[in-house]
Amino acid sequence: MSNLNIILASGSESRRKLLAGAGIDAVCIKPNVDEDVAKVSFRAEKMRVSDQAMRLAEMKAVKVSQKHGGLVIGGDQMLNLDGEAMDKPVDLADAANHLRQFSGKAHKLETAIVIAEDGVPVWRHLVAPTLTVRPLTEDFIAAYLEAAGPQILNTVGAYMLEGIGAQLFSRIEGDYFSILGLPLLPLLDYLRVRGVITS
């Protein structure tokens, strides 16, 4: 289906599964970008959350592209609550605090994707689905975290929409694939235009 080596600059199982499900055979290579250091710098510059996500996606794509060649897909997703970036919870207690902050509010998932070739970004896309969390009781938060388990700490919002995390929301506006971390439909459109996959 593809005439060019496609690399996913990510260790994200969710992104890998989305590509594989769409018939895209991508090699996964972790970019080893120090995201924590980058975020400190971005936030010191008071960079918008969407711009932080885009910069991280670009850093990942470019770094892997410089080393491995091919067409490299880099992605990043940041949770934007009232204009502030929130990071992945460090433990279940932190996850509970996240959920208390989300309760009864809407937040955005700033979801960025960048494609790089020969170490140069050639395509960018940003989308920001909006998710509204219903009011959550303390009993629900405790039961939810017990059911979800420690794997929830791998997600920026302490939820996995494709599972029990669906119970958190009263409204979702945006593309399902993007919420899972990859704007798949625009990516497939670009790959068809580029001639990487059959149109």
Residue 108: helix, strand or coil by DSSP? strand
* Neighbour count for residue 112 (Cβ, 10 Å): 26
How far apart, in whole angstroms, are the C-alpha atoms of residue 79 and residue 107? 7
Residue 144 token pair: 């939810």
Dihedrals phi, psi of 148, to nearest 5 degrees: -75, -40
Residue 107: name the closest of 131, 127, 88 by CA.
Answer: 131
Residue 75: name the closest of 144, 123, 42 by CA.
Answer: 123
How far apart, in whole angstroms, are the C-alpha atoms of residue 114 and residue 116? 7
- Catalytic site residues? 76
